[in-house]
């Protein structure tokens, strides 16, 4: 029996704040900046951090294992990005006494998230309520999947989208079966559209080639594809992920 639940990224509720946050952080997040398109459409921007930045990562205190588990999973990206991570651990009560963003990325833990995770994308983390977590992970720290779950969620926090949603995805989804399967895992149709099915290609945005081995790719069962197509869950950062991150956060 497959107990795996899947990551859900947090949809933006305020597109203007999302746009402003991304452009203030790194002007090239505006994909239209060098184009001559007449109409700028919000939502087409990327959400990458400024190259060379030290990201402050606030981890809510949970138990003796939680802080180390986050540091370990997140740090898997460090060899491939020109970013630094500054990890701090704080008690919830202290976090709630501040009305400032105490971390660019804010991680809390919920047992109901065991086997899955959720995160906002890139600079969306510094919009909205500063006390709210931007990433939620489970509390099954001894699970062999835990480190992978952390690394995958930090991929989102560094601005990556789901690879199976690449505009040139090769996944031959059987739509009816896909909606039914994910409904059984608690996904609404909107959440399937938002987290599973292909996204439109955005003009002006740079894409790497589709990479079925990306750590940002879901496991895909043959049962929900047409023909004969499946992909196991990728627990390691792929060569494609490395190439993309090196291009997005290059050494100066
Ligand atoms: Zn995800």
Question: Tell me: the pLDDT tens digits for 108-129?
Answer: 999 999 988 999 999 999 999 9
120: CA distance to ligand 1 center in Å?
9
Give the E-state strand segments of the chain in sequence order.
8-9, 54-60, 84-90, 105-109, 117-119, 135-137
Neighbours of ion ligand 1 (CB under 5 A): 7
Spell out the domain ranges in the chain: 47-160, 162-252
**Under a CB-based contact definition with an 8 Å cutoff, are residues 189 and 179 in contact?**
yes
156: CA distance to ligand 1 center in Å?
7
Predicted local distance difference test score (pLDDT) of residue 220: 96
Predicted local distance difference test score (pLDDT) of residue 217: 97
192: CA distance to ligand 1 center in Å?
12
Whole-angstrom distance between the N-terminal and C-terminal Cα of the chain? 48
Predicted local distance difference test score (pLDDT) of residue 39: 52
Q: Class of the 47-160 domain?
A: alpha beta
7: CA distance to ligand 1 center in Å?
4
Predicted local distance difference test score (pLDDT) of residue 251: 95
- Estimate to the nearest angstrom the gap between the alpha carbon of 39 and the chain centroid: 28
CA atoms of 195 and 182, how far apart (whole Å) = 10
118: CA distance to ligand 1 center in Å?
7
Predicted local distance difference test score (pLDDT) of residue 241: 97
Predicted local distance difference test score (pLDDT) of residue 40: 53
Place of tokens 């509390």: 139
Question: Which residue stretches of the chain have pLDDT < 70?
Answer: 1-4, 32-43
Predicted local distance difference test score (pLDDT) of residue 1: 35
- Distances 182 to 39, 192, 235 between C-alpha atoms, Å: 36, 7, 21
167: CA distance to ligand 1 center in Å?
16
Mean pLDDT, the chain, rounded, equals: 92
């Amino acid at each position: 029996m497959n107990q795996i639940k899947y990551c859900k990224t947090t949809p933006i509720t305020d597109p203007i704040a999302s746009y402003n946050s991304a452009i203030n952080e790194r002007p090239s997040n505006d994909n239209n900046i060098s184009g001559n398109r007449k109409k700028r459409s919000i939502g087409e921007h990327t959400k990458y951090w400024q190259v060379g930045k030290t990201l402050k990562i606030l981890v809510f205190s949970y138990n003796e294992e939680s802080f180390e588990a986050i540091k370990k999973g997140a740090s898997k990206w460090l060899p491939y990005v020109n970013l630094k991570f500054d990890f701090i651990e704080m008690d919830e009560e202290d976090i709630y006494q501040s009305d400032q963003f105490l971390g660019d990325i804010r991680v809390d833990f919920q047992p109901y998230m065991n086997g899955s995770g959720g995160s906002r994308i890139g600079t969306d983390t510094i919009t909205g309520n500063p006390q709210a977590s931007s990433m939620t992970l489970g509390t099954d720290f001894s699970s062999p999947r835990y480190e992978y779950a952390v690394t995958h969620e930090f991929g989102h926090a560094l601005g990556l989208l789901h690879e199976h949603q690449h505009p040139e995805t090769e996944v031959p989804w059987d739509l009816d079966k896909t909606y039914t399967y994910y409904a059984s895992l608690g996904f609404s149709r909107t959440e399937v559209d938002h987290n599973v099915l292909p996204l439109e290609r955005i003009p002006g945005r740079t894409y790497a080639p589709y990479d079925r081995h990306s750590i940002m790719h879901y496991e895909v069962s043959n049962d929900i594809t047409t023909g004969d197509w499946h992909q196991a869950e990728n627990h390691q950062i792929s060569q494609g992920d490395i190439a993309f991150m090196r291009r997005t956060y290059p050494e100066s």
